[in-house]
A and B are shown apart, each in its own frame.
Chain A
């Protein structure tokens, strides 16, 4: 192998003379070796910069065939290259269906975040690669699944989910076997190739690729996965092999590794957890994974690395659950509770499984021990396992191979006990950044000046402060917002003059999408007994309504899947001050803006398949939404 690489490098030099002869017919011979520097002569393109920041749309969580499960689910043709080409707006051949596929509007950035566990190893195993196929793991797998039938792929997937965490499994393998046989240095080739592709497609000012991966801890079947990415380029990324859950499934070990690697290489990591809804009570728990109570040290470390949570994605929405927030009529949205345990369980929700209750737990923990471990901003992303980041309801590529086409979606996906139509067509992240560059985008994640959408590209701006008035709504709102307050994701500390907290909120619909129904502020606070509470305020309603209990209506024709923008508002902008503000109570505030009802993708499927939409088991219409990152009010007069 070593020699092989060397010889390939030598070629261009050794051959430049030989090739010239044959090329004479087409052109005069050129020195073949000189080309690689030509790029440097390219004049620098102007990169737009806006000090008041633009919104950039992206997906921080996209998988390709380098992920063991993408390969095992039958999409081996999915590559990072196709993922980038698709996200930046090119028409590509879909790796799942082979049909041409394109986004209606390009994205601005993409993180291809393949599972670090066994990156690229399964494809190599089926190519009978020495050092992989002939190991204990390779032999066991090939014996159980000699070919790549769908059934075999599912078997391997199930075994891996057990073996990786040292649980009993058909192949009698453990995590150490996987590391020795498929992991460690053996993922280096796939990692290096991935980095090169990311570098090639990074185009500052137009389309940004961020290098990253997914740490996929499935502690006893609980989804504790984290996507990790960084603004630095290949020179830094090639200095390490991504940390995988085979090394440890405890997030605290991941943070230690991030700390050490960051100091060693200068990488600046952002880690984002996802799917608290299937974390089996562990994502926003009151104890550490080892059972000890959460302390200040834990809170500080977690808030250093994990400043955002993926609140919405294809495997469901984790903002709130109707059982936990019974007074929230909009909480019953894309609920997904299919645990990754192989028994097909659908466990009841706990307050550690949803973001709103998690933020409340954070306030309580801060009261008890002095630091808040759950002060997170909100991100939406797809978690697509096809390389296609396509989550418009009318242009949904599915979670994976098993639900890539309408005709397949009545059937099990192999992910928990879910069926195709249980997947939701969501989400993306809006990022308020000065420019579309790696550093500027990552800085926005660090500030939490980011927000989640379930699909529509709704422009959402929120500022909190003590000196805003209704007069600040207007053309200078953004400048005023930054100069007199903080944007979404920020902190407000108790002012000395006893003034009240207020918010400037502006919501513009997706210009190509549906109108808006309403804007809500969701407040969580700690009462005088140290118990957290929540309340929802309708702060702006469309169509002149003054009472939020009056519904906006529904224009969707379930026969054709068409809707009209004859109801709702194209934009809702408002100044709101909290009528229940108490300066001694810690609180968080975030904005939720809802669209008018529009067809769920499953309605379009039902129309295409000629079946009753009831058969999909899901509502014909949904109210898509955006969630701003919260602003926290701290009753202390200065921050930590």
Chain B
């Protein structure tokens, strides 16, 4: 698992080279520093942005205005670069470092793609997250707290008097409540939502095909006839694939960002060259900056 994380920097360098290549391929025109090309893609991009903002096509004048603004920005940008104005500019630095962070995100999708293989491995490593708790098919009757002084005692009496092995013997008995009397292959979630958490927990270990109880819920005491039970089980990979992919990508992105930064940081030495710290402070600051968080 996650062997790729051992070499994320290598991936990163290879990617960097490709980005460079892709950019230089795309920027053939810019060999000529005094040429500004406005192609279909550029115009369409501007039009789309305008439409999103103003909910209409730009007029001819508006489009000309947009193009004029674009050209102005390009010229200023090119000239500024010639004067090296991008050096040591805080905003430029932050923007570029932000782009690197985004790259790290995209990188994750490339070096740890959500392939069937990776997802299956992730599923194996985290199977507990996907286990389905036991589900039950059962009938229940209710002795309501509302209508009886000692519902538990009454439930015991009713049970004692019944033919326990016959489902029919107690069907439609008990107090009428707007609670379903029958559950078919009901999940934990369904049962908890309808009859409550403690009731669901009490179903565990009960014998099948016989009336059992009393089992308490918020509504009163129940007698229950469980006709089928499915043990805790793992769902098919295919049925939960989307969920696994969601969790996998969430985990990978969280981990990868940290891993790549740690790897890159290993190549750097941080030197504290400031009179504002005494020698002890220098040591502690230096240690905390070199430490990998």
Q: Within A1-29, which residues are at the interface with B (CB < 8 Å)?
A: 2-4, 6-8, 10-12, 14-15, 18-19, 22-23, 25-27
Please pick, from A7, A23, A45, A473, the residue contacting B19 in the complex, using a CB distance under 8 A: A7
Contact B22 A10 (CB under 8 A): yes
Give B43-86 as 1s and 0s: 1 = Cβ < 8 Å from A's Cβ atoms.
00100011011110000000000000000000000000000000
Asked if B95 lies at the interface with its beta carbon under 8 angstroms from chain A, I say: yes
Within 8 Å CB of A23, what residues of B?
4, 111
Contact A134 B91 (CB under 8 A): yes
Contact A127 B98 (CB under 8 A): yes
Contact B113 A508 (CB under 8 A): no
Within 8 Å CB of A42, what residues of B?
238-239, 241-242
Task: Name the residue of chain A whose CB is nearest to the CB of B14.
Answer: A18
Give B244-283 as 1s and 0s: 1 = Cβ < 8 Å from A's Cβ atoms.
0110001000000000000000000000000000000000
Q: Within A39-53, which residues are at the interface with B (CB < 8 Å)?
A: 39, 41-43, 45
Kindly provide the distance from the CB of B132 to the nearest chain A CB, expressed in whole angstroms: 12
Contact A188 B178 (CB under 8 A): no
Q: Within A81-106, which residues are at the interface with B (CB < 8 Å)?
A: 81, 85, 104-106
Please pick, from A14, A22, A459, A508, the residue contacting B11 in the complex, using a CB distance under 8 A: A22
Known: A184-B52, A511-B194. A128 touches B110 (CB 8 A): no
Contact B14 A3 (CB under 8 A): no
Please pick, from A106, A240, A506, the residue contacting B189 in the complex, using a CB distance under 8 A: A106
What is the CA–CA distance of A117 and B37 in the complex, to the nearest angstrom? 35
Known: A128-B95, A129-B95, A511-B194. A185 touches B52 (CB 8 A): yes
Please pick, from B95, B181, B250, the residue contacting A130 in the complex, using a CB distance under 8 A: B95
What is the CA–CA distance of A515 and B144 in the complex, to the nearest angstrom? 12
Name which of B154-162, B202-210, B217-225 contacts chain A: B217-225
Within 8 Å CB of B176, what residues of A?
473-475
Known: A6-B26, A7-B22. A511 touches B219 (CB 8 A): yes
Contact A19 B111 (CB under 8 A): yes
Known: A10-B22, A11-B18. A45 touches B239 (CB 8 A): yes
Please pick, from A3, A188, A571, the residue contacting B144 in the complex, using a CB distance under 8 A: A571
Contact B146 A569 (CB under 8 A): yes
What is the CA–CA distance of A43 and B114 in the complex, to the nearest angstrom? 18
Please pick, from B11, B53, B90, the residue contacting A19 in the complex, using a CB distance under 8 A: B11
Contact B115 A30 (CB under 8 A): yes
Asked if A617 lies at the interface with its beta carbon under 8 angstroms from chain B, I say: no
Asked if B227 lies at the interface with its beta carbon under 8 angstroms from chain A, I say: no
What is the CA–CA distance of A240 and B55 in the complex, to the nearest angstrom? 8
Kindly provide the distance from the CB of B181 to the nearest chain A CB, expressed in whole angstroms: 7
Known: A26-B3, A35-B115, A571-B178. A3 touches B26 (CB 8 A): yes
Within 8 Å CB of B22, what residues of A?
7, 10, 14
What is the CA–CA distance of A8 and B26 in the complex, to the nearest angstrom? 13
Within 8 Å CB of A15, what residues of B?
14-15, 18, 110
Asked if A135 lies at the interface with its beta carbon under 8 angstroms from chain B, I say: no
Contact B193 A105 (CB under 8 A): yes
Contact B218 A510 (CB under 8 A): yes
Asked if A613 lies at the interface with its beta carbon under 8 angstroms from chain B, I say: no
Contact A475 B238 (CB under 8 A): no
Give B84-118 as 1s and 0s: 1 = Cβ < 8 Å from A's Cβ atoms.
00000011001100110011001001110111110
What is the CA–CA distance of A494 and B77 in the complex, to the nearest angstrom? 74
Task: Name the residue of chain B whose CB is nearest to the CB of A21.
Answer: B14
Q: Which of B145, B146, B196 has the most CB of A within 10 A?
A: B146
Contact A2 B45 (CB under 8 A): yes
Kindly provide the distance from the CB of B4 to the nearest chain A CB, expressed in whole angstroms: 7
Asked if A168 lies at the interface with its beta carbon under 8 angstroms from chain B, I say: no
Kindly provide the distance from the CB of A125 to the nearest chain B CB, expressed in whole angstroms: 11
Within 8 Å CB of A106, what residues of B?
189
Asked if A404 lies at the interface with its beta carbon under 8 angstroms from chain B, I say: no
Within 8 Å CB of B23, what residues of A?
3, 7
Q: How large is the interface on B (under 10, 10 to 19, 20 to 34, 35 or more residues)?
A: 35 or more
Please pick, from B18, B45, B98, B199, the residue contacting A511 in the complex, using a CB distance under 8 A: B199
Contact B242 A39 (CB under 8 A): yes
Within 8 Å CB of A368, what residues of B?
none
Contact A511 B14 (CB under 8 A): no
Asked if A32 lies at the interface with its beta carbon under 8 angstroms from chain B, I say: yes
Q: Within B138-182, which residues are at the interface with A (CB < 8 Å)?
A: 144-146, 176-179, 181
What is the CA–CA distance of A11 and B90 in the complex, to the nearest angstrom? 28
What is the CA–CA distance of A381 and B110 in the complex, to the nearest angstrom? 40
Asked if B126 lies at the interface with its beta carbon under 8 angstroms from chain A, I say: no
Contact B26 A508 (CB under 8 A): no
Please pick, from B53, B114, B243, the residue contacting A241 in the complex, using a CB distance under 8 A: B53
Contact B26 A35 (CB under 8 A): no
Contact A241 B99 (CB under 8 A): no
Q: Within A545-604, which residues are at the interface with B (CB < 8 Å)?
A: 565, 569-571, 573
Contact A509 B178 (CB under 8 A): no
Within 8 Å CB of A22, what residues of B?
7, 10-11, 14
Kindly provide the distance from the CB of A318 to the nearest chain B CB, expressed in whole angstroms: 28
Contact B218 A511 (CB under 8 A): yes
Q: Within A123-153, which residues are at the interface with B (CB < 8 Å)?
A: 127-130, 133-134
Asked if A326 lies at the interface with its beta carbon under 8 angstroms from chain B, I say: no
Known: A203-B242, A571-B177. A30 touches B117 (CB 8 A): yes
Contact B195 A511 (CB under 8 A): yes
Asked if B284 lies at the interface with its beta carbon under 8 angstroms from chain A, I say: no
Please pick, from A2, A457, A508, A513, the residue contacting B177 in the complex, using a CB distance under 8 A: A508
Asked if B290 lies at the interface with its beta carbon under 8 angstroms from chain A, I say: no
What is the CA–CA distance of A511 and B11 in the complex, to the nearest angstrom? 54
Contact A509 B219 (CB under 8 A): yes
Asked if A461 lies at the interface with its beta carbon under 8 angstroms from chain B, I say: yes
Give A509-545 as 1s and 0s: 1 = Cβ < 8 Å from B's Cβ atoms.
1111101000000000000000000000000001000
Asked if B192 lies at the interface with its beta carbon under 8 angstroms from chain A, I say: yes
Contact A461 B178 (CB under 8 A): yes
Task: Name the residue of chain A whose CB is nearest to the CB of B178.
Answer: A506
Within 8 Å CB of B220, what residues of A?
570
Asked if A640 lies at the interface with its beta carbon under 8 angstroms from chain B, I say: no
Contacts A8-B102, A39-B242, A185-B52 known; 11 new A-B pairs at CB < 8 A: A7-B19, A8-B103, A15-B15, A18-B18, A22-B7, A35-B114, A43-B238, A185-B50, A203-B243, A240-B52, A241-B53
The 8 sampled A-B contact pairs (Cβ below 8 Å) are: A19-B11, A30-B117, A39-B242, A39-B245, A85-B250, A203-B243, A511-B194, A569-B146
